Amino acid sequence: MADDKPCFNALSYRKIIGSLQYLTLTRPDIAFAVNALSQHMHDPAPSHTVMLRKFIRYIKGTMEFGLPITRSNLLLRTYSDADWASDPVTRKSTSGFCSFLGDTLVSWTVKKQSTVSRSSTESEYRALALATADTIWLKKLLVDFRIAHSHPMDIYCDNTSTIALANNPVFHARTKHIEIDQ
């Protein structure tokens, strides 16, 4: 059986996982698998080394995949979304956002929210808040690199209720629980 004998020793396993973690910078499609395999770095079972070998075959067969890094303008824009109550067990939502500098994707996150949202609007608002914080950090990072970014940052959200909530300070009194939960 293939699980009886490991394909790699523990040291080789750790080195390969480290290289794969670096590769996730331009290959977000492999991030979940790399994360799952990296949870066994300290004591990989033979089955994990077999999975790693299969995963390396996948990488070899998909060398053309990845994020293009192109020279373009330096306009910063972010897209935010959430999947309300997507976890059937905990009923927690999943936030996701991605930021582009020109045509190049420079930051992305998909994360389960820490609390249960009462509505899709609240879930989207939490995702928008995280995306905004990340976008502000990116703008400050550009300043550290001495790259002037005088243009407004565009942050996109597909939920009209969330956009109305974010734009109207009258509603902010109703969102204090969201601020506390963050």
pLDDT at 69: 79
What pLDDT is recorded for position 53? Answer: 93
Give the pLDDT score at 1.
Answer: 46
3-state DSSP helix/strand/coil % of the chain, to nearest 5: 50, 15, 35
What averages of pLDDT result for each successive group of 10 residues across the chain (182 residues)?
69 92 87 88 90 95 87 91 84 91 88 86 90 93 88 90 80 56 52
pLDDT at 4: 66
The pLDDT, as a whole number, for residue 169 is 66
- Please tell me whether residue 96 adopts helix, strand or coil conformation: strand
